[in-house]
Amino acid sequence: MTKEQQEKRLEEATRILAAIGMPRKQQNLRTALVLLSMFNLRPTQEWAEAGSNTLGISACMDWMAEHYPDIPKGKKDPTRYAPNSRESVRKLSVHPLIRAGVIVKNSDAPNRATNDQNNRYHPSDIAINAIAAFGSSTWDERLKEFHSEQPKLIEVNAAERKVHRVPVKLPDGGTVDTADLSPGAHSELIKAVVERFGSQFTPKGTVVYLGDTGSKWIVNEPEYLADLGVVVDPHGKMPDVVIHFADKDWLVLIEAVTSTGPVDDQRMAQLKELFAGARPGLVFVTAFLTRGKFRQFMADIAWETEVWISENETHMVHFNGERFLGPYNSAE
């Protein structure tokens, strides 16, 4: 077997992990190797030859080292993961595959203790049926059969709530054309804020300001804001998106963060000053594209504000105050 054969099989295994709906953090080398070991698929074999291995964690790691020796795994010994990696293999690769219905634990003794040295894992029958068809004309059909019994883990983890979405609008009743935004990650996030955050958390809200990186603004409604008691300082830095949620009479001030600018204590003070005359209560939201980006700024987020993450769009993170998603100058 050649290194190229090993790399090709691993690349295919990673594609399978994505197709069966594994979260992004499990679409990695370690989980791909676990998949190959459990299905006993060597680099020289085709997916149609996928079978069933019954392995403990140590035996699984030994199998990886034996059959995929040219794939770097550890610093001291590139051919294998270090013994202290057992828990990472178990918790971050094997257990998610169990939750996804790809692997079965202890089919001979389901009540075996977690720390029992006799714990063993093997592929589920429905997973073998699907994965053995990878690359064939029946792959899509077999994948549908698998998902008819096993929901995608990425969807299970998201705990998607069923929501009634109502688009946000412009003061004249028209819709917001986010196609006018300049290309790039920041504009992608602003688009998500308007189309997904807005329709869910401020349904039927009115977009009164929408900034852009390429031009000064896409939506700017100073007269509407003036009716709400806001006289915008032309030298003040507006948030990326401002939505008037009339049902609650809130002004939702949203910063879309891809590199800088979360609602920290300083920015919160600036926004309070900028919107000091507002009749509606002020709600402060920082929006991110991913959890990873949120983690970069988590320590900076001001208390009594909200965080929305595009990849987990039906949930928000509440930085503790006396209420959830609401202004703090109102009893409502």
- Could you tell me the domains of the chain? 3-158 (1.10.10.1820), 178-318 (3.40.1350.80)
Inter-helix orientation angle 57-67/29-38, to 10°: 100
Q: Model pTM?
A: 0.55
CA distances from 225 to 60, 177, 276 (A): 63, 20, 12
The β-bridge relationship of strands 121-123 and 217-220 is unpaired
- Residue with more model confidence, 272 or 157: 272
Q: Over pLDDT 70: what percentage of the chain?
A: 91
Ranges of beta strands (E only) in 54-124 are 103-105, 121-123
**Tokens linked to 262:** 């979360």
Residue 114 has pLDDT above 60, yes or no: yes
Pairwise pLDDT comparison (329 vs 146), residue with the higher score: 146
State yes or no: pLDDT of 320 exceeds 80.
no
Q: Is the pLDDT of residue 265 over 90?
A: yes
Positive/negative CA dihedral, 214, 215, 218, 221: positive
Q: What is the spatial distance between Cα 332 and Cα 256, in angstroms, rounded to a whole number?
A: 27
What does pLDDT average to over the chain?
Answer: 88
* Res 91: pLDDT: 92
CA 299 to CA 62: how far, in whole Å? Answer: 41
Q: When comparing pLDDT for 31 and 159, which is higher?
A: 31
| Of 44-58, 188-202, 205-219, 221-235, minimum mean pLDDT range | 205-219
Closest CA relative to residue 119, chosen from 54, 31, 34: 54
Instruction: Give yes or no for residue 332 having a pLDDT over 70.
Output: no
* pLDDT beyond 70 at 233: yes
DSSP readout, 221-261? -HHHHHHTT----TTS---SEEEEETTTTEEEEEEE-SSS-
pLDDT at position 36 is 97
What's the CA gap between 228 and 15, in Å, rounded?
52
* Mutual angle of helices 3-19 and 29-38, in 10-degree steps: 90
Please report, to the nearest 10 degrees, the dihedral formed by the alpha carbons of residues 273, 277, 279, 284 taken in order: -10
| pLDDT tens figures, 139-172 | 999 999 999 988 888 777 665 555 566 666 776 6
